[in-house]
Structure 1
Amino acid sequence: MSRPNLRVNAPLLGARRSGPARLLAAAGLAAAAGLALPGPVAQADTASVRCSVPDLVEAIGRANGTPGADTIRLAPKCTYTLVTADPGSPANGLPAITGDLTIDGNGATITRPASAPAFRILFVAETGDLTLNRTTVSGGRATDCPLFPGEGVCGGGIYNLGRLTVNRSRVVHNSAVTTVDNLFAEGGGIDSDGTAATVNDSEISHNTAAYSGSTPSSAEGGGLANDGPLTLNRSRLTDNTVSVADNTDSFAFGAGHAAFALTTIEHSTISGNRVRAVGGTALAALATGSPLPGQATSLSMTDSTVSGNTTSAPNGVAVGGGLGTNFPVTLTRTRVVDNTATAPGGTARGGGIHIGRTGDLTLKDSTVRHNTAHAPGGTARGGGMSSATGGTVRTDRSHIRKNTAEAPDGGTAQGGGVFNAVGSTTLTRSSITDNRAVEGGGIFKESGTVTLNDTTVRGNRGNNCAPPGSVPGCTG
């Protein structure tokens, strides 16, 4: 299984990898397993573990060796400090989870100190099913990518190839970082490529995915990345980072979350995350890849907030300060606010949201506000929202207001609220108000179609719509 060459296959909204093949393989394994003869009924086992790394390692090994579900209870508020990798799986600090295991952390921390050799903390194998409760995972540093061996580093804190559930836990200060040419980095906190993952009431923060080689490559998913189905509930993805080496024509995207498969986000916050790609392409705190032909892939986000994120690409291309998508995304009762796409000397598109060539965005009862596309001496398009290369946008009862496209020092600034080219934007029972740009303070339509249905466009500066007459029903 190989990863497509980014320069050839990646549109401005990042790269799409061949993760779905992994899902088909998993489905085949599951079907084959269903043909096996039933074994004896297994009994659940519960073990309490002292504040001792050897005892924790032994308990996991024992759980792996017994059929049925097992539970390990950690010592309350203990810090389990891993100073060496597991001999049986040297890319991981603890033995690979191969069975059905629940770890009840009781507020404990499992960590790797900076002085230790590099390894991630937890690895869930294809046969594994891990539930992690009230545990902090920190300090992990990925050295491999099991789904794509030899091609990258993935999952600094946790890597999942099976089933993973994280409840009321923290995944903080982990990293997936590579200095090797052509290798990619993915999922600084968590990388889930398995059959299912769910994160509930948890914090994923201060994690990093970074590439610093000398040839084109990518880094994605500073906090979280998924090539398999994922659900995020009542959780926070904050202060994560993604970066690539300067001037290598590389891609950096998804500082908080990079989604490549079916994703559901509810009652969650993605805030304060940062993407940086000097002379390259930087995309969004919440970013999706491109779908494979025939694959039913989408992202839905409900009652959530994407705020205060920054996408930066000096002398390059910065797209989507908050959200960037190349497959179907639906936002319902969601706020995209105070995000920035900045590209001094380059191109900034979509301070709040950028829709790519194959993107399809639906906004329902949502707000896009106080976002900025900033490109001193360059080109800024779509302070609130940009659909610059195609794609489809639909809004219903949504509001795009007080966004800005700005390009001081002689640059071009178009579409303070909305920029549209090639594709189509349909605004229904919505409003575009108090946005700013030199041309098309409310809407700039370069090409494609923009349709207003019972929608207000007013109070925008320097004008409501440009070029004059380009948007039927919009004047001033």
Structure 2
Amino acid sequence: MAGALVAVPAPAAHAATVQVRCSVADLVAAINAANSSPGPDTLQLARKCTYKLTAPDPANPGNGLPVITSEITIDGRGATIRRDEHGGKVPKFRILFVAPTGNLTLTRTTISGGFATDCPFFPDPPGLACGGGISNTGTMKVTHSKFTGNTSRSDVFAQGGAIDNPGTGSVSDTEVTANHVIYSGSETGGGAAGAAIANDGPLTLTRSRLTKNTAIVTEDTQSFAFGAGIISFAETTIKDTVISENRSFAPGGFARAAVANGIPEPGRLTVTGGAIRDNTSDAPHGFGQGGGIANNGLMTVSKVEISGNRVVAKDGTARGGGVRIGPFGTLDLTDSHITGNTVVAANGTAQGGGLDNPDGGTLTARRNEVHRNTVTARGGTAQGGGLYHAGGPAGLGTTTLERNTITRNRAGDGGGIFKASGILTLNGDVIRDNQPNNCSPAGAVPGCTG
């Protein structure tokens, strides 16, 4: 029709793929160009190149690379992005920061040597440090990658030695090893949380390995080193992942677990499959609380191997070699193996070799094997080789057992179960061959004898 106006749609933005030479300057330029272009971009790094960062991003000196503000995929193809310490002369900065508008997919890349000096999502109070490798406040997907040798250190509170996720994140088929989170202050009550990963989420972690990460606090400050593998402050789902050989160290403070549910939150921590093994919580003249798991929120654990974990507190209190439940914790534990965990407190108090519910929490355990866990305290008190239960100050804590097998555990008293107070019920459980006895005090656990 004559004079008719026809609307012509604007051209759609297309994904762009850019080959990035083995040059930090080229990588910086590629990220800046991707941020300013419409549509998603893929940056393919030079195969097996090491991009050595020697200076922070001028616009955002807490980060080594420009802030991710758009949809970007970094395909490392085996490359490494590393902060090059150069004899200690290079400033401290993390490697990557994803802004709230950013959407980063990181694949086949190693992130190394990052050092967090700020906490972008939690700027107040000043002095916090979050995410030595990556801090994500937008959307992040990490696959087939590795994080090693990254650090978050603060005189106030540090979290996320390798990854800090206040945004929406997923990590799969990735190794997170030898990262550190450190509280270096002198004030009472500081904290170091999540040496591998700290999640303010939501976050999904799948088919990955968190190994040999450390959480450390200043001696005798009554500070908290917790979640040497992962700390959950929000909804977290862990599937088919191995969390092993991580260490929380808090002399004169509180050392808590490789897998920790931080504070009571509406989000649930769910662990399915995989293993939590050979981790250590060490608190000389302090409080060791959970070697494998410390839960003080909502948590579900199913079909997990929880084995070989240790809680050590010479001249202190050590409890929960495999699993410890705090006063606000609710744990559903099913079809898992809690085996070979140990609690040691020379001249102190040691309780709950396999499972520990001492402060008024709620434990429901079905069809688990609790086997060969040990509690020792030379010169002190050692109770509950398989399970220690107390109702907490109000006496309301509950442990409900159904069709579990509790065998060959050992303690000074209550080799199988020690019940101090509260409500503990059995339903079809097998409790036998524990040393020196199956349940203590005599008659405290109806249905358990010997």
Query: When the two structures are superposed, what TM-score results if normalisation uses the length of structure 1?
Result: 0.89
Q: CA deviation at 1:39?
A: 8.5
2:377 pairs with 1:403: no
**Greater Rg over alpha carbons, structure:** 2
**Paired position in structure 2 for 1:208:** 180
Measure, in 1, the Cα distance between the counterparts of 2:76 and 2:84.
Answer: 19
Measure, in 1, the Cα distance between the counterparts of 2:365 and 2:311.
Answer: 22
2:222 to 229, 239, 249: 249
Measure, in 2, the Cα distance between the counterparts of 1:114 and 1:345.
Answer: 39
2:136 to 157, 160, 180: 160
**Paired position in structure 2 for 1:326:** 296
**Paired position in structure 2 for 1:198:** 170
**Paired position in structure 1 for 2:161:** 188
Matched AA of 2:436: G
Measure, in 1, the Cα distance between the counterparts of 2:249 and 2:372.
Answer: 25
**Paired position in structure 2 for 1:236:** 209
**Paired position in structure 1 for 2:360:** 390
Bigger RCO of structures 1 and 2 (CA < 8 A, at least 6 apart): 1
Contact 2:264/2:298, CA 8 A, preserved across alignment: no
**Paired position in structure 2 for 1:469:** 443
Note the residue ranges of structure 2 that are not aligned, 5 or more in a row: 1-8, 392-396
Question: SS in structure 2 opposite 1:56?
Answer: helix
2:14 pairs with 1:78: no
Q: CA deviation at 1:151?
A: 4.1
Q: CA deviation at 1:40?
A: 6.5
2:409 to 435, 442, 453: 435
Measure, in 2, the Cα distance between the counterparts of 1:83 and 1:381.
Answer: 49
Contact 2:31/2:66, CA 8 A, preserved across alignment: yes
Matches within 5 A, 1:265-414: 265-292=238-265, 296-408=266-378, 410-414=379-383
Cα displacement string for residues 432-467 of structure 1 (whole angstroms, at most 9, x for unaligned residues): 100001110000000111111010010000100000
Total equivalences in the alignment? 431
**Paired position in structure 1 for 2:4:** none
Q: CA deviation at 1:114?
A: 2.0
1:122 to 96, 101, 107: 96
Q: CA deviation at 1:41?
A: 3.1
Cα displacement string for residues 290-313 of structure 1 (whole angstroms, at most 9, x for unaligned residues): 224xxx311111111000000000
Cα displacement string for residues 145-186 of structure 1 (whole angstroms, at most 9, x for unaligned residues): 0111114000000100000000000011000012x3xx1010
- Deviation larger for 107-116 or 200-209: 107-116
Measure, in 1, the Cα distance between the counterparts of 2:15 and 2:325.
Answer: 48
Measure, in 2, the Cα distance between the counterparts of 1:204 and 1:39.
Answer: 44
1:88 to 59, 67, 75: 59
**Paired position in structure 2 for 1:16:** none
Measure, in 2, the Cα distance between the counterparts of 1:151 and 1:404.
Answer: 41
Question: SS in structure 2 opposite 1:453?
Answer: coil
Cα displacement string for residues 226-259 of structure 1 (whole angstroms, at most 9, x for unaligned residues): 0110000000000000000000111110001011
**Paired position in structure 2 for 1:13:** none
Residues 335, 39 of structure 1: CA spacing in aligned structure 2 closer, same or farther, 3 A cutoff? farther
Contact 2:264/2:329, CA 8 A, preserved across alignment: no
Measure, in 2, the Cα distance between the counterparts of 1:40 and 1:365.
Answer: 55
Q: CA deviation at 1:396?
A: 1.3
**Paired position in structure 2 for 1:106:** 77
Matches within 5 A, 1:29-48: 41-48=12-19
Measure, in 1, the Cα distance between the counterparts of 2:27 and 2:46.
Answer: 10
Measure, in 2, the Cα distance between the counterparts of 1:86 and 1:224.
Answer: 24
**Paired position in structure 1 for 2:433:** 459
Matched AA of 1:340: R
Measure, in 2, the Cα distance between the counterparts of 1:137 and 1:260.
Answer: 24
Cα displacement string for residues 25-52 of structure 1 (whole angstroms, at most 9, x for unaligned residues): xxxxxxxxxxxxx996321111000000
Cα displacement string for residues 368-391 of structure 1 (whole angstroms, at most 9, x for unaligned residues): 000011100000010011111111
Matched AA of 1:411: G
**Paired position in structure 2 for 1:26:** none
Alignment root-mean-square deviation, CA:
1.1
Measure, in 2, the Cα distance between the counterparts of 1:450 and 1:405.
Answer: 20
2:147 pairs with 1:171: yes
Which aligned runs of 4 or more in structure 1 are off by greater than 2 angstroms?
38-41
Query: When the two structures are superposed, what TM-score results if normalisation uses the length of structure 2?
Result: 0.95
Contact 2:127/2:157, CA 8 A, preserved across alignment: yes
Measure, in 2, the Cα distance between the counterparts of 1:97 and 1:342.
Answer: 42
2:118 to 144, 151, 159: 144
Measure, in 2, the Cα distance between the counterparts of 1:327 and 1:114.
Answer: 39
1:420 to 389, 408, 423: 389
Measure, in 1, the Cα distance between the counterparts of 2:160 and 2:130.
Answer: 6
Cα displacement string for residues 335-360 of structure 1 (whole angstroms, at most 9, x for unaligned residues): 10000011000000101110000111
Matched AA of 1:402: R
Q: CA deviation at 1:364?
A: 1.2
